[in-house]
Structure 1
Amino acid sequence: MHKLADRLDHFSDSIIRRMTRIANQYDAINLSQGFPDFDPPPELITALKQTADSGPHQYEITWGSAEFRQLLAKKQQKLMNIAVDPNENILVTCGSTEAMMCAVMTVCNPKDKVIIFSPFYENYGADAILSDATPIYVPLIPPTFEFNKEQLRQAFAQGAKALILCNPSNPCGKVFTRQELEYISELAIEFDTYIITDEVYEHIVYEPYQHLYLASFPGMKERTITCSSLSKTYSITGWRLGHIIADKAIIDGCKMIHDFLTVGAAAPLQKAACAGLAFNENYYHQLTKTYSQKRQLFLDGLDKLGLTYYPPQGAYYVLVDISAFNPFATDLEFCEWLIKEIGVAAVPGSAFFKEPEYRYIRFHFAKKESTLLAALGKLSKLKEKLPC
């Protein structure tokens, strides 16, 4: 038998999803894979029930239903402060995962270089490999997770075709400042580089931080590919509804890639999700308030346990330093032990960092308060079972 494709040698299965499988096996509280344990807004559930009766149940237009695109354009152009034409500037995808894959495949030729900040969401490296592009990793340095300007300039100077920017960032919760985004914009224009943004946590940002859309910066609309999703904003991760917003020439390219990757996102789910896209700004204010409360509850609990962590500025993840827990050769071993012996699932930081010296694990707090309290209760046994 011939050897399978060489690209398989360069990445493994998803460590995040693997942690969920192990958590399920041991009936642990899953604070690894980032999905809520509470229902979506009732308006979406009602709309889904109605759609089950009335349809549509067949293919939609490949790049997304007209109603979905119109509502999304109205919502996003107000937030992004740029013109968004529903017919020319939007592609609806099967989650932001496909959106990012489409974006990388649209702009990159084989062997093109793609800049990725580290820590990074694990799919980004895989996206580059599957596109036969070469990743260049630039560190975000703890505890503030700022980048070194000269290191970033050197990465651009290597001829990078694109940079992937997750803002707010998964896993560290960093929200990029205006000054940082201005510098990235200057380099992108100077070196003629595309910026692919992952903005799925755009509505989950904590005071006093503010989410800014790179596409709205001077000279950036033409070279920014904005990817996002409804998953986190409306607590519908299983619906797999994402989207790309970009200039027409880029969207036309993304449409061709998307057409042969997935054909289109689920028609009935697009219809039902329109109920969420029609929400007014009060919904998003309440979303921020809700996650701010969950964040505070979980961080207060970590404080009481004496664990070292980095307070997230956005998203719903927190990195916890496990360097004091020495008996484990790897952070993966620690996370497997944590599931089996403590009953709580986390993700090993090595899934996100290219730098081997860091010893972090990632928890998420997109859970009911009762779930978070139960998890903290189990974690209180950590030092008892495993003295530092």
Structure 2
Amino acid sequence: MSLTVSNRRHLVAQSEIRNMTIECARVGGINLAQGVCDLPVPEPVLRGAEEAMRAGTNVYTRFDGLPDLRRAIADKQRRFTGMDVDPEGQVVASAGATGAFYAACLALLDEGDEVLVFEPYYGYHVVTLAALGIRPVYVTLEPPHWNFTAQDLENAVTDRTRALILNTPSNPAGKVFSREEMGVIADFAESHDLFVFTDEIYEHFVFDGREHVAPATLPGMARRTITISGFSKVFAVTGWRLGYAICDPEWALPIGHFNDLVYVCAPAPLQMGCARGLEELGPDYYQGVSDDHQHKRDLFCDTLRSIGLTPHVPEGAYYTLADVTSLPGNTAKEHALYLLEQTGVACVPGSAFYKGAVGETLARFCFAKEMDVLEDAMARLRRLGG
């Protein structure tokens, strides 16, 4: 028997987001493919991490994170969502929101289980499930408002279904699930006794007066919801890899143990930096983040419209999906590469977010850029229309 890679190797080929980032670098273009937020890192976050390093906070922490961070997360959830969270038994700090999700899947799901996933989806969710031998089952959201019905959920559920993933605000569609829609999901989850894994990493990027509703706050949802979020986006520290899960203590302990197995702990001084950010930054900071990105959304979507790439205007997060079928090519990848070659602006083929053919008509653009960079990108795109 010869040496070979594992059977799961084919599941984790480089993502289209990374592929387009590489292609963008090759031509020296503007990268609107990767979801990197160009906000400045808040001063309390930087200062807190530096002070922690100098004070000697450079060793292993408890598997679920430092007390300061867990308390700060619990306090923040109470202020913004009304959740009553015990920092001693319900919070697990991990290596980013993706790390929290991975540890939660290891702790709560088994090989052969099925999990319902709304599409368009975030690829890391789907690949994580597949790599663990868990089957994603897709429920397609219908544009322009990315709607679904209770019957759509019922059509997808089987006796092997164990959970549903809810990403709100969503990447890549920018959908903010309403309280009414979450009520449908809550009733469905309760009737079939399912976990609901949430990804709320964009919770502070919500536009046009909408509100982010934490699914765990709905009646009957506290015990079955695994609330997942992090600091990469709102504090602009994607490279710090720091996120968390909040859930019932019965689930938090095994999630924490798997977090310990895979990651040991999140980086200690960076935990302190984010704790200080949560403690010192008030509502004005978060509202400013939202307002800034709403303004950029409006400018960018107007530009896409002006060149015939009709955008689906997002309700939250910092991406827009646009119809790119007017560009030469037969696939989303060909459309995206043509756009890059002609303008030097990189986007992600919509096929990265869909199982079926719908994605071949779309591309995702990230507009969370410094204004001068975004203006340059928009000027380049407008030349395509001229």
Task: State the one-letter code of the partner of 2:298.
Answer: Q
Distance 2:256 2:100 in 1: 10
Distance 1:228 1:23, change over 3 A: same
Distance 1:40 1:181 in 2: 32
CA contact (8 A) 2:225 2:247 kept: yes
Q: 2:162 is matched with which residue?
A: 161
Distance 1:376 1:158 in 2: 49
Q: Which sits farther off after the overlay, 270-279 or 162-171? A: 270-279
Give yes or no for the alignment of 1:372 onto 2:374: yes
After TM superposition, give the deviation of residue 11 of structure 1 in Å.
4.5
CA contact (8 A) 2:102 2:128 kept: yes
Q: Secondary structure at the match of 1:57?
A: coil
Distance 1:158 1:180 in 2: 23
* 1:99-143, Cα deviation, whole Å (9 max, x unpaired): 111122222111000100010001111111122111101101111
Task: State the one-letter code of the partner of 2:192.
Answer: F
Equivalent positions of 1:243-282 (< 5 A) are 243-278=244-279, 279-282=281-284
Q: 1:7 is matched with which residue?
A: 8
After TM superposition, give the deviation of residue 22 of structure 1 in Å.
1.9
Distance 1:216 1:50 in 2: 35
- Number of residue-to-residue matches in the alignment: 383
* 1:123-177, Cα deviation, whole Å (9 max, x unpaired): 1111111221111011011111111321211223444101011001100000111
Q: Secondary structure at the match of 1:205?
A: coil
CA contact (8 A) 1:80 1:215 kept: no
Q: 1:63 is matched with which residue?
A: 64
Distance 1:147 1:104 in 2: 25
After TM superposition, give the deviation of residue 87 of structure 1 in Å.
0.9
Distance 2:22 2:326 in 1: 27
After TM superposition, give the deviation of residue 34 of structure 1 in Å.
0.6
Q: Secondary structure at the match of 1:357?
A: helix
Distance 1:197 1:59, change over 3 A: same
Q: 2:341 is matched with which residue?
A: 340
RMSD, matched Cα = 1.5
Distance 2:16 2:261 in 1: 27
After TM superposition, give the deviation of residue 276 of structure 1 in Å.
1.1
Distance 1:49 1:103 in 2: 30
Q: 2:75 is matched with which residue?
A: 74
Distance 1:55 1:329 in 2: 57
Distance 1:254 1:62 in 2: 10
CA contact (8 A) 1:138 1:151 kept: yes
CA contact (8 A) 2:119 2:354 kept: yes
Give yes or no for the alignment of 1:307 onto 2:283: no
After TM superposition, give the deviation of residue 328 of structure 1 in Å.
1.4
Distance 1:126 1:8 in 2: 11
After TM superposition, give the deviation of residue 307 of structure 1 in Å.
2.4
Task: State the one-letter code of the partner of 1:176.
Answer: F
* 1:36-95, Cα deviation, whole Å (9 max, x unpaired): 234211222233333343331111112101111111111112323222011100000000
Distance 1:260 1:361, change over 3 A: same
Q: Which sits farther off after the overlay, 68-77 or 241-250? A: 68-77
Q: Secondary structure at the match of 1:381?
A: helix
CA contact (8 A) 1:58 1:267 kept: yes
Runs of 5+ unmatched residues, structure 2: none
Distance 1:373 1:237 in 2: 23
Q: Secondary structure at the match of 2:321?
A: strand
Distance 1:323 1:200, change over 3 A: same
4+ residue runs of structure 1 moved beyond 3 angstroms? none
Distance 1:229 1:159 in 2: 30
Task: State the one-letter code of the partner of 2:102.
Answer: M
Q: 1:291 is matched with which residue?
A: 293
Q: In percent, how many aligned pairs have the same letter?
A: 35
Q: Secondary structure at the match of 1:55?
A: coil
CA contact (8 A) 1:227 1:243 kept: yes
Task: State the one-letter code of the partner of 1:304.
Answer: S
Equivalent positions of 1:77-156 (< 5 A) are 77-156=78-157
CA contact (8 A) 1:168 1:315 kept: yes
Q: Which sits farther off after the overlay, 50-59 or 106-115? A: 50-59
CA contact (8 A) 1:159 1:191 kept: no
Distance 2:247 2:311 in 1: 36
CA contact (8 A) 1:156 1:187 kept: no
Distance 1:369 1:347 in 2: 21
Q: 1:353 is matched with which residue?
A: 354
* 1:317-375, Cα deviation, whole Å (9 max, x unpaired): 000101122x3132112223333331111011000012213410000111111111100
After TM superposition, give the deviation of residue 19 of structure 1 in Å.
1.6
Q: Secondary structure at the match of 1:83?
A: coil
Give yes or no for the alignment of 1:328 onto 2:318: no
Q: Secondary structure at the match of 1:271?
A: helix
After TM superposition, give the deviation of residue 222 of structure 1 in Å.
0.4
Distance 1:233 1:314, change over 3 A: same
Task: State the one-letter code of the partner of 1:350.
Answer: S
Runs of 5+ unmatched residues, structure 1: none
CA contact (8 A) 1:35 1:235 kept: yes
Q: Secondary structure at the match of 1:146?
A: coil
